[in-house]
Amino acid sequence: MESAAGHEPSQKTAARLTAVLRGCAEHVAQCEDVLVMLESARHRDTPALLRFLVWSVAHHQADAARYEREARSARSALRAAVAAWWTAAQWFIACPHPMLLLVLADYPGSLSRTVGVQQWWAPYCRTAAAREHERARRAQAETECLRAQARPHPRGRRRTPGSAAPEAMPR
């Protein structure tokens, strides 16, 4: 447990909150119509949740594909920037000129800065793509679980809460 600010409660507060939550859970568990309420809530909320999860899977897969494209382009951009920097360095060695020093210097928008950014951008994009794939996988698993729960159950000899067993009923 933690507060909205992210602080842990004192031991006394945590014990009280735990006792209150346990009391609420015990009270709800003793309600005869809790299963009916849960089933009703599931029928009401499942379609909207499924729509959200299907959207979420598609969204995360699209983001993962975008990050993978950016990682590929970052690798080629890194190779091009390094090649351009080395070409400028070779020109500077062959014919030292102050303008070539500006080309080789590290400032926003320079070749050196581009090389530095591209060195971390490709690994970052690969990691972000992996995270998006994992989010899509979890949303897909949740979708499959909800669809399995939404399938109609066979109407067997399941008792409703609070009903007597068939043997205990008078004939």
Report yes or no: 139 and 60 within 8 Å, Cβ to Cβ: yes
In Å, how far are 44, 61, 68, 135, 145 from 140, measured between CA atoms? 20, 11, 20, 9, 9
Distance CA 4, CA 138 (A): 26
Instruction: Give the pLDDT of residue 54.
Output: 93
35 — phi, psi (to 5°)?
Answer: -65, -35
Residue partners of 151: CB distance under 8 A and separation at least 6: none
Instruction: Give the pLDDT of residue 4.
Output: 75
Q: Using one digit for the tens of pLDDT, what is the confidence trace for 79-105?
A: 888 898 888 888 888 888 888 777 788
| Residue 154 vs residue 163, higher pLDDT | 154
Instruction: Give the pLDDT of residue 169.
Output: 47
* Confidence grade of residue 161 (pLDDT, cut at 50, 70, 90): low
The DSSP code sequence of 78-131 is HHHHHHHHHHHHHHHHHS--HHHHHHHS-STTSHHHHHHHHHHHHHHHHHHHHH
Residue 150, pLDDT above cutoff 80 = no
Q: What angle do CA 82, 83, 85 make, to 5 degrees?
A: 65
Distance CA 167, CA 169 (A): 6
